[in-house]
Amino acid sequence: MLPHTSAGDIRLGSGSGFQVVAFAEVEQATIAHQPERVIAEGATDDKVRWTLRAGGDEGDYSTMLRVEDDAGVISGGGMGGPKLWGSDLLNVYSRGNPDRGPRGIVVRCDPSVEHLSVSYEDGTEAEMVVSGEVDGLRFGLLLVAPGAHLREVVGGDKDRTVIERFDLRGHDASWHSHGRE
């Protein structure tokens, strides 16, 4: 199993690390029908780049993750719909290309969630990179190795008291049985 590291770090192999480049500065006010725009971007040591885009209105909000390298797009995907479903504090998706790079876990969450982590089946955890408030939401992101076995996303308040969990085992089973989720 590859080592897990903190604060959005990923180890894809020897000498390969994930580093956040920036969470873009954007206005916090929600604007109806606001177009998708880049809210975060980053790169790994081995030149894998990612871009997180988000935008929309209360009922039709989109979040998209694109991962690419010098050869082109590795993977892309996202989620749409209301900003948050029902009474959920966390909306989560995971996507990637098992043959060409990391798997992305993206969280769209209520602003009361200030800390996010991913728990692995082996009992270890990795901290997710969490944005400030954007359009009345926070966003979390973590890139993990394609072979990682995931258990859950844990959302906590400013004191890290757990306020919601999202079970990733269904996503993970699908990923490992079909090579994608």
Are 161 and 175 a contacting pair, CB within 8 Å?
no
In a domain, 38, yes or no: yes
Diameter of the chain by CA atoms? 46
In a domain, 142, yes or no: yes
In a domain, 164, yes or no: yes
Containing domain of residue 41, as a range?
Answer: 11-178
Q: How far are the Cα atoms of 30, 52, 145 from residue 90, in angstroms, in the given order? A: 19, 17, 22
In a domain, 3, yes or no: no
Which residue type does 109 have?
A: C
Q: In total, how many domains does the chain have?
A: 1
Are 99 and 119 a contacting pair, CB within 8 Å?
no
Pick out the chain residues at pLDDT < 70: 1-34, 178-181
Residue 178's CB is within 10 A of a number of other CB atoms, namely 9
So what's the pLDDT on residue 141?
92
In a domain, 82, yes or no: yes
So what's the pLDDT on residue 83?
96
